[in-house]
Chain A
Amino acid sequence: MSNNFLSWKAKYDAQKERKGPFFTVSSVPIDPLYAPGHTADIDYERDLGNPGEYPYTRGVQPNMYRGRLWTMRMFAGFATATETNARYKYLLKQGQTGLSVAFDMPTIMGYDSDHPRAYGEVGRVGVAIDSLQDMETLFQDIPLDQVSTSMTINAPASILWAMYIVAAEKQGVPAHKLTGTIQNDILKEYIAQKSWIFPPDPSMRLITDIFKYAKDNVPKWNSISISGYHIREAGSTALQELAFTLADGFAYVEAGIKAGLDVDDFAPRLSFFFNSHTDFFEEIAKLRAARRIWARHMKEIYHAKNEKSLLLRFHTQTAGCSLTGPQMENNIVRTAYQAMAAVLGGTQSLHTNSMDEVLALPSEKSVQIALRTQQVLAYETGVTNTIDPLAGSYFVETLTNQMEEGAEEYFRKIDEFGGVLGAIRENFFQQEIADAAYRYQKEIESKDRIIVGINGFVNEKKDDKMDLLKIDPEVERAQVRKLTALKQSRDNIRVQTTLTDLKETAQGTDNLIPKIMDAVRAYATEGEIIAVLKDVFGEYREQAVF
């Protein structure tokens, strides 16, 4: 450090410091000042590059938001396809630019609405989709060649994707014109969100089958959204989110190569999904580091030749886990800061949480405020006028470097387990996340960390009542009736034939997607298709740690 810095440090130390600790939301200690000495080793071309140039630290496009703003994509889904279809039309009318489907738990776990395990859960946290019929209703009068759709679906992703493709086909939109994303990221399910169905090997086969099918038939579709969001929500630190997500990404790249694909055949369609938590600079550093690490590994380790394979494109959602029940309106403020961090981190699309999501699915009013938060950010704050405005900041560049170093260290640890699947088996990720979540909670309880409205600035008076969205229990009964009627009216012999066909393919090694499409076209239900696959593949079980 320079003499100049040291003399400042002496003056600083001579003065009083207010009560700390000074650390990030991930408990990383932060220095009082960052100066040229911290970033002296940075080589602009090697470490940052111009936007749209290797290693893409400053952004994946040369023009970023000067060319086009991010896609404002609000995650939505509840009750039945009919209600959700109306919400989508409302959101599009409000200026939203892409759709994002939230499915209910039975759909996510592969159960039809009439399954005993679905009881009480139909249409609760998302929309209930049992068959192609529901998917057709979901997108009725929404031209699928004009919107891009993201679907948060993992273990049964192949089936819901097939339903979407066939629903579009029925609208007269060919698969090669479709744009959107399926989450399809099973590794983070084993690690964090725990919505799995099959064991890892057949799950990875389904994913590489999707990669292959997408390459030949749905080339503009993002075949996976490798997600840190849920890892973070489960309690990880920002660094763990970054490292575990990228490690998952490399595992998918290796799986694709192992399945016989050339890295450049599928890597351009890999996309990512990150969380944006409340610690402003830490989040920005995480996102900048993510692009650089991905580009370096794809080029140097996986020898990708196509420039598009090097680009880490991502969606961001603000942190649901940061929202508070008391003084719920404060969540609007939290979300606004988090959204700004995502934008300064160069996100391609963004979901802003609604203030009431801490207790229920969002009401129309609160979704509108959340969407307006993005519009204020885009059109009023001016942060979009120049690209990557924080580059060169001693602090942000130091944090970005620390993120990269920390992630590399995690990659080495994961390698010691023989890779991501080995580390999952040994509960490495699960334990790391549980430890971080517990530490965070303890910091709140000891008041080392202040959360406004929770352990500081608590209101004596009870909050005013909010109008929350309610799901009528009738929704479940209506959905079950619709499903029963479908099972009676469809060609059940054709359903059986396609399911038998699917089973044989599952027992072999051919691509499963065309067979799933056949079953979907015959109006086989999601639950029926999953049951056939479970028969062949078995089910995953976790040894839980806490």
Chain B
Amino acid sequence: MKKTRIRVLVGKPGLDGHDRGAKVIARALRDAGMEVIYSGLHQTPEQLVEAAIQEDVDLIGVSVLSGAHMTIFPRIKELLKEQNAKDILLMGGGTIPEEDIATLIENGSVEALFTPGATTTEIVSWIEEKLSLSKGDVV
């Protein structure tokens, strides 16, 4: 069955409460015509993956500014695999050094990471491109 709109869960895992980035992204994706669910704060990877499956989203977007990115992204990816939800894409943003970005992308923990200065337009087009490809298979 073909879905008409892209569904995204914007999540804020871990203990950090700096939610400016998550909220700006959530709103930009909504304005770009996507259906956006915002998890609220202080979520565990388990809670995020559960919500993503229940809400049947295409993509999870996760904001991490706490330096815990090297544990959070691999954990979410692992849970998605365990739950047979590998088709849900994972992207992220936050204060993440370039070296760590390279590692996380290379080991398949996340599909894309954006750092301070990335534009919402850039993020929207990344999502649309990525999902039109994978959705194309379904149609």
Contact of A86 with B by CB under 8 A = no
A120-B70, A120-B72 known; A437+B24 contact, CB < 8 A: yes
Flag if B17 contacts A195 (CB, 8 Å): yes
Residue of B nearest to A455 (CB): B119
Say whether chain B's binding surface is mostly helix, strand, loop, or mixed.
loop
Bound CA–CA A325/B72 (angstroms): 22
* Shortest Cβ distance from A356 into B: residue: B97
**Interchain CB contact under 8 A, A117 and B44:** yes
Stretch at the interface among A13-21, A102-110, A240-248, A510-518: A102-110
Q: How far is the CB of A462 from chain B (nearest CB, A)?
A: 9
Interface centre among B36, B41, B72 (most CB of A within 10 A): B41
Contacts known (A117-B44, A121-B14, A125-B16); A324 close to B117, Cβ less than 8 A: yes
Inter-subunit contact A120/B17 (CB<8 Å): no
Known: A194-B19, A324-B116. A121 touches B67 (CB 8 A): yes
Collect the chain B residues with CB atoms within 8 Å of residue A235's CB: 20, 24
Closest Cβ of chain B: how far from A119's Cβ, in Å?
7
- B105 close to chain A: CB less than 8 A: no
Docked-complex contact A359 and B38, CB < 8 angstroms: no
Contact with A along B106-137 (1 / 0, CB 8 A): 00000000011101110000000000000000
Report A-chain residues with C-beta under 8 Å of the C-beta of B36.
546
Does A326 lie at the interface of the complex (its beta carbon under 8 Å from any beta carbon of B)? yes
- A-chain residues with CB within 8 Å of residue B70 when the two chains form the complex: 120, 473
Could you tell me which residues of chain A, from 26 to 44, have a CB within 8 Å of some CB in chain B?
Answer: none
Could you count the A-B residue pairs with CB atoms below 8 Å apart for me: how many are there? 109
**A544/B119 contact (C-beta < 8 A), A105-B16, A109-B15, A120-B72 known:** no
Would A325 and B115 count as touching, CB distance under 8 A? Answer: yes
Shortest Cβ distance from B96 into A: residue: A359
Kindly supply a per-residue 1/0 record for chain A positions 466-484, scoring 1 wherever the CB is within 8 Å of any chain B CB and 0 otherwise: 0010010100000000000
**A434 touches B (CB below 8 Å):** yes
Residues of A within 8 A of B18 (CB): 193-194, 233-234
For the complex formed, measure the closest distance between the CB of B66 and the CB atoms of chain A, giving whole angstroms.
Answer: 5
- Residues in chain B near residue A147, CB distance under 8 A: none
Instruction: Check A326–B97 contact: CB distance below 8 A.
Output: no
- Contact between A546 and B98 (Cβ–Cβ < 8 Å)? no
The interface-forming segment of A266-274, A438-446, A492-500 is: A438-446
Cβ contact within 8 Å between B66 and A121: yes
A390 within 8 A of B: no
Most buried by A among B14, B26, B38, B71: B14
Contact assessment for B23 and A437 in the assembled complex, using a CB-CB cutoff below 8 Å: yes
Residue-wise, chain B 41-52 has the 8 Å CB interface mask toward A (1 for contact) of 110100000000
B71 touches A119 (CB 8 A): yes
Interface flag for A360 (CB, 8 Å): yes
Interface flags for B1-41 (1: CB within 8 Å of A; 0: not) read 00000000010001111111011101110000000101011
Q: Say whether, besides A125-B16, A125-B66, A194-B17, A546 and B115 are in contact (CB < 8 Å).
A: no
A288 within 8 A of B: no
Inter-subunit contact B41/A546 (CB<8 Å): no
Q: Give the residue name and chain of the B residue nearest to A465 (CB).
A: B98
Kindly provide the distance from the CB of A356 to the nearest chain B CB, expressed in whole angstroms: 9
A360 and B95 contacting across the interface, CB-CB below 8 Å:
yes
With both chains docked as a complex, state the minimum distance between the C-beta of A350 and any C-beta of chain B, in angstroms. Answer: 22
Contact residues in B for A455 (Cβ distance below 8 Å): 119
Asked, given contacts A358-B95, A544-B38, whether A454 binds B117 with beta carbons under 8 Å apart, the answer is: yes
Q: Which of A121, A189, A325, A360 contacts B15 (CB 8 A)?
A: A121
Q: Which of A507-529 contact B (CB under 8 A)?
A: none
Please name all residues of chain B whose beta carbon is closer than 8 Å to the beta carbon of A106 when the two chains form the complex. Answer: 15
CA distance A124 to B36 in the complex (A): 30
Bound CA–CA A438/B38 (angstroms): 16
Shortest CB-to-CB span from A194 to chain B, Å, is 3
Contact A546 B23 (CB under 8 A): yes
State whether A359 touches B97 (Cβ < 8 A).
Answer: yes
Partner of B23, one of A108, A121, A325, A434: A434
Chain B residue at minimal CB-CB distance from A458: B117
Q: Collect the chain A residues with CB atoms within 8 Å of residue B42's CB.
A: 109
The answer on a CB contact under 8 Å between B20 and A234 is yes
A252 contacts the other chain (Cβ, under 8 Å)?
no
Given the known inter-chain contacts A194-B17, A437-B23, A546-B26, please indicate yes or no for A326 contacting B40, CB distance below 8 A. Answer: no
In the complex the two chains form, what is the Cα distance from A233 to B116 in whole Å?
A: 13
Chain A hits for B97, CB < 8 A: 359-360, 468
Given contacts A105-B66, A124-B66, A125-B66, contact A453 B24 (CB under 8 A): no
Q: Which of A299-336 contact B (CB under 8 A)?
A: 321, 323-326
Please name the residue on chain B nearest to A117 by beta carbon: B15
- Smallest beta-carbon distance A323→chain B, Å: 7
Residue from A124, A234, A324, A468 in contact with B68 in the complex, judged by beta carbons closer than 8 Å: A124
Q: A125-B66, A325-B116, A544-B41 are in contact. Are A189 and B17 (CB under 8 A)?
A: yes
Closest CB of chain A to B39's CB: distance in Å? 8
Instruction: State the CA gap A121–B67 with chains docked (Å).
Output: 7
User: Taking each of B15, B24, B28, which has the highest tally of chain A beta carbons within 10 Å of its own beta carbon?
Assistant: B15
CA distance A471 to B95 in the complex (A): 14
The list of the 7 closest CB pairs from A to B, nearest first, reads A194-B17, A120-B71, A124-B67, A105-B15, A546-B23, A544-B40, A120-B68
A473-B70, A544-B40 known, 18 other contacts, Cβ within 8 Å: A105-B15, A120-B70, A193-B18, A194-B18, A235-B20, A325-B116, A326-B117, A358-B95, A358-B116, A360-B97, A437-B24, A441-B120, A445-B119, A454-B117, A544-B38, A546-B10, A546-B22, A546-B36
A-B CB contact pairs (8 Å), 21 listed:
A105-B16, A109-B42, A117-B44, A118-B15, A120-B14, A196-B17, A235-B24, A325-B115, A359-B116, A360-B67, A360-B97, A434-B27, A437-B23, A451-B117, A453-B117, A455-B119, A468-B99, A471-B67, A542-B40, A544-B23, A546-B23
